[in-house]
Amino acid sequence: MACKFHLGDKRTKRFNDKQELAEYVQNVINENISGGKATVKLLANAAPSEAKVVMRVSGDNLDRLREVKNALEAEIAKIPGTSNIRDDMKDETFQLEVNVDEDKASNLGIRKYDIQKQINVALYGSKTSVYRKDGEQYNILIQSNIGNTSALENLEIKSSITGKKIPLKQFATVGIGSKLDSIGTYNGEQSVEILLNELPGYNAVAIENIIEYEVLPKVDTSGTKITFDGEREEMATTFGKVMLLAVCAVFLIYIVLLIQFRSFIQPLVILVTVPLSLIGSGIGLFIFKKPLSLTAVLGIIALIGLVVKNGILLLEYINDARKEGYNIDEACVDAVGKRFNAIILSALTTIVGLIPLAISGSGLFGPMAISLMFGLLVSTFLTMVVIPVIYSMIENFLENRNKEVLIKTEE
């Protein structure tokens, strides 16, 4: 089924991102469709794909699960920024219930097998033969026209023992009951998942924190266990792995620099610039009001290589100047003067290339581009100051210490 939505005048009806468009369509559906459920979903960029806020209610009593679920959904709906609150508990469906008086049935010569088989045939039909035509065959299904409980009560059950037909109502009662077609489980326990989306401009992690620390204390959840499995938990799991890999990457970079400069101290001077990228990335994400998502962290990690590259160039020129006879301070000033234009221009070209991605409105690549741009911008300028200063401090300290050792040796 295809649906067409009128979004108004193209010149006046604009959406800042896909999330705003999805929210608009969801509101239109909610206002015009009754007696059913319709959910607008965007293609997921990463797990969790169904919703960014997911909480699970587990317990042994299904009725208690339903009570807690309803209470939580009512409280969550009051939180600003929440949308499309739903759960995976199936609605109850109605079914025919046949309660057999086994003693009466046995006295009449009716077995359970007779009752089950003949009621099944009456309600669902039975394949009796095959109709063949033009090389094709079609099953012939015989089915009764029973459409209500009174008709089923008058169904005559044939005894496989006596051969007599006896109306079902003489040894059984027929009623209508409700049941759940399926019951969700998690780790062997009955469970219900509550899912919700956030409106544009709101943060899923912040909403989840509000639910855990403000909503749950107000709701009676006794007899159930509440767990969260949304973006917050996914970020915590993924961030742990990513940060471990980042530490390994920094260690490998240190080994490479150790081989290149043949010094234990100078690689550490270069790696001091790595935390500087965090300052710029944090400022950029704050200005553009972007969350610290997984892609933003990946952008920060990617900055490690870019920042280290600038540090290597600067330190290499400082060492060359020292070999030419410059003192420590003169070598630092000379290296900055010679490499300033090259380092700044290479950083600016990278930043300009990331601008289209940053302003694209993409929830996946936008935070990564912003963290790269601002992290590189701030760290580049700070690198031109921090590396010469730290290098000068360390080298002056080492030279003074060597002089003191030499003087003591001569004495």
Whether 114 is covered by a domain: the verdict is: yes
Distance of CA 82 to CAs 34, 200, 357, Å? 21, 10, 28
Name which of 388, 369, 367 is nearest 377 in CA terms.
Answer: 369
Asked if 254 and 403 sit in the same domain, the reply is yes
pLDDT digits (tens, 9 = 90+) for 19-66: 677 777 777 777 777 666 677 766 655 555 567 888 899 988 888 888
Q: What SS3 class is residue 96?
A: strand
Together in a domain, 112 and 211: no
Residue with more model confidence, 18 or 136: 136
Spatial distance between the Cα atoms of 67 and 88, rounded to a whole number of angstroms: 14
Beta strands 53-59 and 225-228: pairing type?
antiparallel
- 348 lies in some domain: yes
Residue 1 lies in a domain: no
- The pLDDT value recorded for residue 5 is 64
Whether residue 281 is contained in a domain is answered as yes
For 156, the 3-state DSSP assignment is: strand
Mean pLDDT, residues 122-138 taken together: 83
Report whether the peptide linkage leading into residue 48 is cis, meaning its omega lies within 30 degrees of zero.
Answer: yes
In this structure, the answer to whether residues 278 and 363 fall within a common structural domain is yes
Angle, CA of 181, 44 and 283, to the nearest 5°: 135
Q: Is residue 8 part of a domain?
A: no
Report pLDDT for 177. Answer: 77
Looking at residue 342, its pLDDT comes to 83
Mean per-residue pLDDT, 353-360: 84
Count structural domains, the chain.
Answer: 3
Instruction: State the pLDDT at residue 47.
Output: 53
Task: Give me the helices (H) in 193-262, please.
Answer: 204-210, 231-261
User: Both 77 and 212 in a single domain?
Assistant: yes
Q: In degrees rounded to 5, what are phi and psi of residue 118?
A: -75, -35
Helix, strand, coil % (nearest 5) of the chain?
A: 55, 15, 25
Same domain, 76 and 141: no
**Quick one: pLDDT at residue 161?**
85
Of 178-182, 244-248, 374-378, least confident by mean pLDDT is: 178-182
Residues 299, 210, single domain; the answer is: no
**Local structure of residue 52 (DSSP, 8 states):** S
Q: Lowest mean pLDDT: which of 32-46, 92-106, 206-220, 355-369?
A: 32-46
- In-domain check, residue 188: no
What pLDDT was estimated at residue 48? Answer: 56
Cβ atoms of residues 277 and 307 within 8 Å:
yes
Question: What pLDDT sits at residue 43?
Answer: 61
350 and 306 Cβ atoms separated by less than 8 Å: yes
Nearest to 50 by CA among 59, 36, 40: 40
Please tell me the distance from the alpha carbon of residue 84 to that of residue 73, in angstroms, as a whole number. 11
Cβ(275)–Cβ(379) under 8 Å?
Answer: no
Mean pLDDT of 245-258: 87
Percent with pLDDT over 90 in the chain: 2
pLDDT at 251 over 60: yes
- Amino acid (1-letter code) at residue 340: F
* Maximal C-alpha separation, the chain: 127
Segment 90-109 shows an average pLDDT of 82
Residues 148 and 258 in one domain: no
Task: Tell me whether residue 93 is exposed, middle or buried, using C-beta atoms within 10 angstroms of its C-beta: 0 to 12, 13 to 18, 19 or more.
Answer: exposed
Asked if 221 and 254 sit in the same domain, the reply is: no
| Three-state DSSP class for residue 367 | helix
Q: Are residues 212 and 66 in the same domain?
A: yes
Q: How far apart, in Å, are the Cα atoms of 313 and each of 31, 258, 308?
A: 62, 15, 9
Q: Give the other-Cβ count within 10 Å of 406's Cβ.
A: 10
Q: What is the pTM of this model?
A: 0.60
Give dist(CA 291, CA 299) in Å, integer.
13
* Higher local confidence (pLDDT), 168 or 46: 168
Residue 294 sits in a domain whose CATH number is 1.20.1640.10
Q: Are 65 and 209 in a shared domain?
A: yes
- Of 385, 272, 389, the closest CA to residue 328 belongs to 389
Which SS3 state, helix, strand or coil, does residue 190 take?
strand
CB count in 10 Å sphere of residue 68:
22
Please report, as a single letter, which amino acid is at residue 147.
Answer: G
Angstrom CA distances, 155 to 143, 144, 165, 168, 314, stand at 13, 10, 9, 6, 95
Assess contact for 160 and 113: CB atoms under 8 A. Answer: yes
Q: What does the pLDDT look like over 321-347, one tens digit per residue?
A: 888 888 888 888 888 888 888 888 888
Range of the domain at 130: 93-180
CATH code where residue 43 lies: 3.30.70
DSSP category for residue 211: I
In a domain, 310, yes or no: yes
Q: How is residue 339 written in tokens?
A: 């490499």
278-301 average pLDDT score: 83
What per-residue confidence (pLDDT) applies to 357? 83
Q: Residues of 111-127 as b/e, b for ≥16 C-beta within 10 angstroms?
A: eeebbeebbeebeeeee
Task: Please give the structure tokens belonging to residue 105.
Answer: 């049935």
Specify whether 244 is located in the same domain as 256: yes
Supply the mean pLDDT for the chain: 82
Position 33 scores a pLDDT of 72
Eight-state DSSP code of residue 110: -
